[in-house]
């Protein structure tokens, strides 16, 4: 039994030294010193010993048990220390390491252009109004002097949801709704930005969904020169005080007379280049004096009230301002494209 105890001690201490974690160490503890442990087994056999042998073996067994326990405690200390260091190592933050880059989003280029135009007109006393993107045929067409079957309706190929409802093709219905809500005896100064929809096949200059900003100014005795003055101010604030504007006759069912406004080309300062297709001018928006029928349908007496309106496409303005070659870039969420416009 003496050799057995010494062999078990050697074996146990060897096993203890080989353990690599506290869990394995506990298993060694149980295997040797546990209730069913081999040392405990030996001690259970003490009964068969002679009374001379019992104290010798008893003392040896206690020494062996103590030696094994001590080896286990030391090893446990070491393993826990190593465990702690590993934990600390893992948790140690190397403050010299660069932080994980946090990708900040930014204002979409179209939003910043729209906000720039909004601020400009708010400065002129206009209010910003929004309206439903799902519009009725009446407010999207009828109220804007585009009766059923009017050819101009086809120009604005529409996404109809029902016979009555469609995705609005312009933001003009918001102006018509606003005028209607003011029961014909209050001035109107409003701009209306928003998404509009045309059943168009997408290409570099057309998108089935794009943005518009339209404006309306209705009051007593509003004249064409008020429109021209407003557009000239807009062009100079938006594109630079050295820009000239040019108004060309045009036609819209909801304005009479109608014009298109061009600004002098920045690239060639009007001499002609590829950007302005050798014309020296770049078309920016359409406008005109509100058609008397449109005023009437909105409850305004066209003999008392007159007004002007304008409409532009922020997509087109952004493409001109930043030399962007394809309108679809605004809607295809390519971060490489979008982040170019993030304020630093
Ligand atoms: C009411 C009365 C008149 C809004 C107007 C335009 C001219 C115009 C185009 C600009 C770019 C459409 O997206 S675009 O192709 N719009 O040129 N819009 S006048 O006239 C109105 C609107 C509402 C009650």
Give the model confidence (pLDDT) of 6-15 as tens digits.
Answer: 999 999 999 9
Beta bridge partners of 255: 252, 290
Whether pLDDT at 298 is above 80: yes
Does the Cβ of 311 fall within 6 Å of ligand 1? yes
Distance of CA 327 from the midpoint of ligand 1 (Å): 20
164 assigned to a ligand binding site:
no
Query: Probe ligand 1: pick from 178, 191, 214, max atoms within 8 Å of CB?
Result: 214
Does the Cβ of 175 fall within 6 Å of ligand 1? yes
User: What pLDDT is stored for residue 331 in this prediction?
Assistant: 93
Nearest C-alpha neighbor of 1 from the set 47, 67, 32: 47
Distance of CA 94 from the midpoint of ligand 1 (Å): 59
Residue 79: which region, alpha, beta or left (left: phi > 0; alpha: psi -120 to 50)? Answer: alpha
Token couple for 325: 């070659």
Helices (H), 19-145: 22-33, 38-44, 53-91, 109-122, 137-140
Query: What pTM was computed for the model?
Result: 0.74
Average pLDDT of the segment spanning 149-174: 87
Does the Cβ of 307 fall within 6 Å of ligand 1? no
CA distance 86 to 84: 5
Token couple for 255: 């304005």
Fold of 109-342: BirA Bifunctional Protein; domain 2 (3.30.930)
User: What pLDDT is stored for residue 99 in this prediction?
Assistant: 87
Does the Cβ of 141 fall within 6 Å of ligand 1? no
């Amino acid at each position: 039994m003496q050799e057995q105890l010494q062999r078990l001690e050697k074996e146990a201490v060897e096993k203890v030294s080989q353990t690599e974690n506290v869990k394995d160490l506990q298993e060694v503890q149980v295997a040797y010193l546990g209730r069913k442990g081999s040392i405990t087994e030996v001690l259970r056999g003490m009964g068969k010993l002679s009374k001379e042998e019992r104290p010798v073996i008893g003392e040896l067994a206690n020494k062996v048990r103590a030696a094994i326990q001590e080896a286990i405690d030391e090893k446990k200390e070491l393993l826990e220390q190593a465990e702690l260091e590993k934990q600390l190592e893992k948790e140690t933050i190397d403050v010299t390491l660069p932080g994980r880059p946090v990708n900040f989003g930014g204002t979409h280029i179209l939003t910043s252009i729209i906000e720039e135009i909004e601020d400009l007109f708010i400065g002129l006393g206009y209010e910003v109004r929004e309206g439903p993107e799902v519009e009725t045929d009446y407010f999207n067409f009828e109220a804007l002097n585009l009766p059923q079957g009017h050819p101009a309706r086809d120009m604005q190929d529409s996404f109809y949801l029902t016979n009555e409802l469609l995705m609005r093709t312009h933001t003009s219905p918001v102006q018509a709704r606003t005028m209607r809500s003011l029961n014909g005896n209050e001035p109107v100064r409003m701009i209306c930005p928003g998404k509009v929809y045309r059943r168009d096949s997408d290409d570099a200059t057309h998108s089935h969904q794009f943005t518009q900003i339209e404006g309306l100014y209705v009051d007593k005795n509003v004249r064409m020169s008020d429109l021209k003055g407003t557009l000239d101010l807009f062009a100079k604030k938006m594109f630079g005080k050295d820009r000239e504007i040019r108004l060309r006759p045009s036609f819209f069912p909801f304005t009479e007379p109608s014009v298109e406004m061009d600004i002098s080309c920045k690239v060639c300062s009007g001499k002609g280049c590829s950007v302005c297709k050798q014309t020296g001018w770049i078309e920016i928006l359409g406008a005109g004096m509100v058609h008397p029928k449109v005023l009437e349908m909105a409850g305004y007496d066209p003999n008392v009230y007159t007004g002007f309106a304008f409409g532009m496409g922020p997509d087109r303005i952004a493409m001109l301002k930043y030399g962007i070659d394809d309108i679809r870039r605004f809607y295809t969420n390519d971060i490489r494209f979008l982040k170019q416009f993030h304020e630093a």
